[in-house]
Structure 1
Amino acid sequence: MTDILVNFPLLTLTAFVGTYFILDRLAPRAMAVLEESLIAIILALMVLLAFVQVVLRYGFNSGIVGSLELNRILFAWLILFGMSYGLKVSAHLGIDSVIRLLPRPLFRAFAVFGAAAVILYAVLLIHGTWLTAFGATTKGGGAVDYWVRFFRLPIGLDDLLYPEWMREFAGQDRVHRWVAYIILPVGLGLLAMRALQALVEIWQGQRELVIASHEAEELVNENRNILRD
């Protein structure tokens, strides 16, 4: 399994994203609950960790080793995992005032372009070797190569330690950097998948944009005369 991860990281990531997509299609409600629960757990852990650290520091003049680093990692996981979920539920903010003035076919073309731009952004950050086809002189790079580099090296995080019962199995005291950094390729892979889904939905007329719609404006219009009534 380790050899497959190291030698075929892109294939492994593609298989993971493909499996995630299939599960999302077969059990959309369960996957939505899973995603929302994971985001809620990360948020709760961040708040709880910060609260406990403040109590320990100012109340007992002590603290949790690696708490700041763990909070930074949790925050990164929240962003990198949450960006694909935000795209799924159209929660990303954007400015669409200009393109909404365009004729409907042209507006739809710009919406498709926006989704395609997100896919390109994710693919660029996942891996850069394919850019050699367009004249680029560097190979590799991106989140996949970055993660594989740390997977091959037994480099630990700065302050975050494994529990004592895990240290013998892990082979070192500090948590491996690849454990924290695995969210880089995973998060970008899920972002590309959600952007591709959005592009298809826009093309089929099931969705307007990859960004949030005018929900606030619609709510204002719906409740404009509520006080008058």
Structure 2
Amino acid sequence: MSGHNPQSPRSFIDSLEETMIAVMLGLMTLVTFANVVARYVFNSNILWGLEVTSILFAWLVILGVSYCVKKTAHLGVDAIVSLLSPPARKICTLLAVACCIVYAFLLLKGGWDFWANFANLPATTGRWFPTGFQDKFLAKGWYETNDVFMPEMFQFVADWFNDGERYEKIPRLIPYVMLPFGMALLLYRFLQAAWAVYTGKQMLIIVSHEAEDAVEEAAAKAAREE
């Protein structure tokens, strides 16, 4: 049995995750191409292009972390666990994924705490694990990005977060929301992986030797063609 997840019916979260990644890649390509054309053909510049691309790239990285957990595509070292018996290997993998779950939970807390005040919401209290929510905090819903203009159709957000005062640029709560969302998705994926390992559907939470097998297969194919 390999370290990869077996094929299973696609859930709504799977579809949402993959659609978002595809849309982000497409938008990054489109905006970058349009900016190059504007600069070298029309001697102009899309002012907000760089910031939009940076935001999309950051979102893509955050989503990519959880996506790689789902696909067991993260790199790791299995030199020791490969020498163990299947029961011992399972225990080691469960211990590893338990550490990952704790780490993802800490990242979720940090992501929420960073984003919350920008959405006029309280951050959690407690240094490591949440012990409650802030009683007093500085609401930062009025903070805007540097260059990305606020589309008219989304100005209703100003009534929720900016006391009805119109935004000139998009509020920072929009790009920053990917932090708690992405970390919650990462935690969910690690919980999924833990259950898959516990039930015997998966052996490892890292990429196993499929890459080496693919390289050897390609080398053998090239040798046969010669």
Q: Same fold (TM over 0.5)?
A: yes
Decide whether aligned partners of structure 1 residues 221 and 68 sit closer, same or farther in structure 2, where only a CA change above 3 A counts.
Answer: closer
CA distance in 2, matches of 1:70, 1:182: 15
CA distance in 1, matches of 2:85, 2:56: 43
Moved more, 183-192 or 158-167: 158-167
1:44 corresponds in structure 2 to 26
2:111 corresponds in structure 1 to 143
CA distance in 2, matches of 1:72, 1:167: 23
Unaligned runs of 5+ in 2: 1-7, 121-139, 159-165
* Aligned counterpart for 2:184 among listed residues 189, 192, 208: 189
Contact 1:162–1:174, Cα closer than 8 Å, also in 2: yes
- For residues 166-211 of structure 1, what are the alpha-carbon distances to aligned partners after superposition, in whole Å with 9 as ceiling and x for unaligned? 4476321110100111110010001001101101111111101111
Q: Are 2:78 and 1:110 aligned? A: no
1:209 corresponds in structure 2 to 204
Unaligned runs of 5+ in 1: 1-24, 128-141
* Aligned counterpart for 1:123 among listed residues 94, 102, 105: 105
Structure-1-length-normalised TM-score = 0.74
Aligned residues: 190
1:156 corresponds in structure 2 to 144
> What's the CA shift for 1:110?
1.7
Structure-2-length-normalised TM-score = 0.75
- For residues 104-152 of structure 1, what are the alpha-carbon distances to aligned partners after superposition, in whole Å with 9 as ceiling and x for unaligned? 222222211221122111111222xxxxxxxxxxxxxx11121111112
Matched letter for residue 158 of structure 1:
N
